[in-house]
Each structure stands twice: as structure tokens, then as C-alpha cells.
Amino acid sequence: MYDPSDPRAALIRTAKPSGPFCAPQAGDFSTLTPDETGPAHKTWYWRAQAVIACCIELDGELTINRPAQPDEYVALTLDDITLDITAGETRTIPGNHLTILPPGASTIIARGTGTLTLLFSPRATDLAAKCRNTPEHNPRIPAFQPWPDPPEGFKIRAYDLNIAAEPGRFGRIFRCTTMMVNVLDPRMGPRDRTKVSPHHHDDFEQVSLALRGAFSHLMRWPWTPNMDHWIKDKAVEVGSPSATVIPPPAIHTSLSTGPGENQLIDIFAPPRLDFSLKPGWVLNAADYPLPAHAGGQNV
């Protein structure tokens, strides 16, 4: 149930929930010890069924090698971090960009101070093995299937995130073959409690990545005739950086709670069709076609 001013209010939703249900998994990297450390970085790994998040706190220079990456992956930073990327070509990407990297061999040399997040599909099995959490199998979520290849081929694609909000458009959404990333517009201070957006997803999970501020992820599960399947309401309190996996069909909404800037990024894998069918919502739709069951056209 969305506030009428929320662009998602026009989306059509149906649900016939039945248990058992899965619980959320939250990794608050502001309190967890890193999985890897080095002279210039602290790194955490967290995963959902279809997404692996690698969150790097950088202060200096770090080289990241993917010698045989099986599919596309995403590099995201909102901070003053420069990426020198070699992947069939060499490009220098400034801070505050979302970059899609091609499959195959790639090298990232990251320089600067701040947070760099790398997002992968579960086909990156070497990184899945580094995650300290094991996602609970949710039978509602279909087996991961990538979307069609880009017509112009795989290459480095970088998108500037300095994009102004527009009425009727929800966040700053980009997609590739493996996932969709929505860099939501930041909120200053706590969210208005009279304009929240409780909603659910039938058959896909949501990874909410907090990069600035603090959030309360509120969740509620349907009641079914079998009380053994009931789950108590949860309020997952996290700082930043953090990654919270919200499973279907939990009813959920998120409140920014920090006094300053609060920045949340939502990740879906594979890309969401309903968002993709909204004209103008996916900002790089021209680069990636829709799957055949959607008519194969871009919007």
C-alpha cells in the first residue's frame, strides 16, 4: 500500500501467500568485523539468493582482479573514488557513478576514500564462498536467469549519478543482464511517518543497501491457516554501510532514521519487469533489451 504521491502506487500487485516463510538477513557492516582487510581497505561480503554484495571501505588504493568473471557485474560508488578499469578496453571512471563491467577478465584499480560496492550474480561462486551468511532457500524465487545480452555487445558502461529527481519517476534505476539497481534519492533526516510505503513482492527478493545514515526496515508476514508458519513482525535497525535481504512475500517498508543524509540503494536480480515497463524509469533502457516474454521492446 503506497502513499498516493509515491510513483509505485500505479503498479498492479496480486498475491496468494502461503507458508512457510523466510526471515530477513541483515549485515550491518558498521558493527561487523570485516571479512578481509588490507593497508587501504576493509571488505565485507553478504548475499541473497540472487545477489552477492561486496562492500569495500577504501582509504587509499586497491586493485581488484576478476580473471574469469562469468557474467556482468556492477561497481557503485557515491564518493570521491576513481576507478581505472581494464576489461577489453581501459577507462577511468570518476566518483558518483554506477558502472557495469563485462564478463571475462577485468581489473579495477580503485583510488580514494569512501565506500565502493561491487554487485555480482550467484554465478560468481568464488565470492559466494566468502559470504558469512547463507541465504535461506525461498521456493517462491525462481532459479536465476539473466536477461538478454546488450545488442551492442558487452563493454564497460558507466553512468553518472548526478541526475535530478523528476515527478513521476522513482529513483535512479539502471539495469543490465544480471540485475537492476535503484539509487534512491537521498532523504535528509527521518522519514515522514505519515507517508510510508508498505508493500510486498510475490516472487523476488530485495537487497536494500544503506550507504549513508541509518534505517529501520519494517517487515510483516501474512497470516495463514497454519500458525506454525507465522513470523512475528520485525524492525531491522541498521547503520551504514549495511545490506539487508528482504524476502518475498514479506510486507515491508523502510524508514530513514539518521539526522543527516540517508542513502539507500535497492537491488533486484534479475531486473524487475514491472519497473522496466514504466516509461522513463530505467535510465539505461536503450542499452539493454527486455526479455522475449515482455515483447522484446524497450521503454
* Average model confidence (pLDDT) across the chain: 94
- Interatomic CA distance for residues 214 and 262, integer angstroms: 6
Q: Which residue has the higher pLDDT, 89 or 299?
A: 89
With contact defined as beta carbons under 8 Å apart, do 231 and 164 qualify? no
Place of cell 532459479: 143
Please compute the mean of the pLDDT values over residues 1-13 and round it to a whole number: 69
Closest CA to 132 of 217, 33, 63: 33
pLDDT at 110: 98
Is pLDDT of 292 > 90? Answer: no
Q: Which residue has the higher pLDDT, 274 or 297?
A: 274
Q: How confident is the model at residue 6 (pLDDT cuts 50, 70, 90)?
A: confident
pLDDT at 298: 55
Q: Tell me how far CA of residue 63 lies from CA of 14, 23, 51, 60, 105, in angstroms.
A: 45, 35, 22, 11, 13
Entry pTM: 0.92
Please compute the mean of the pLDDT values over residues 264-279 and round it to a whole number: 97
234 grid coordinates: 520485525
Please compute the mean of the pLDDT values over residues 164-176 and round it to a whole number: 95
Is pLDDT of 12 > 70? Answer: no
274 grid coordinates: 514491472
Is pLDDT of 16 > 80? Answer: no
**Residues in contact with 148: Cβ distance below 8 Å, sequence separation at least 6, in sequence order:** 177, 288, 289, 290, 291, 292, 296
Q: Which domains does the chain have, with CATH numbers?
A: 7-294 (2.60.120.10)
Q: What is the pLDDT of residues 220-235, one digit of tens each?
A: 999 999 999 999 999 9
With contact defined as beta carbons under 8 Å apart, do 69 and 63 qualify? no
Q: How confident is the model at residue 293 (pLDDT cuts 50, 70, 90)?
A: confident
182 grid coordinates: 535503484
281 grid coordinates: 524509469
Closest CA to 187 of 261, 237, 241: 261
Beta strands (DSSP E) in the chain are: 25-28, 36-38, 41-47, 52-69, 73-77, 80-86, 90-93, 97-101, 104-120, 157-160, 172-175, 180-183, 187-188, 206-212, 215-220, 234-238, 242-246, 251-256, 261-268
Q: How confident is the model at residue 138 (pLDDT cuts 50, 70, 90)?
A: very high
175 grid coordinates: 539495469
What DSSP letter does each residue of 57-123 carry, written as one string?
A: EEEEEEEEEEEEE-S-EEEEESSEEEEEEESSSEEEE-SSEEEEE-SEEEEEEEEEEEEEEEEE-TT
pLDDT at 62: 98
Alpha helix locations (H) across the chain? 125-128, 273-276
Please compute the mean of the pLDDT values over residues 251-279 and round it to a whole number: 97
Side-chain-side CA neighbours of 54 within 13 Å: the count stands at: 20
Q: What is the pLDDT of residues 39-57, one digit of tens each?
A: 999 999 999 999 999 999 9
Is pLDDT of 1 > 60? Answer: no
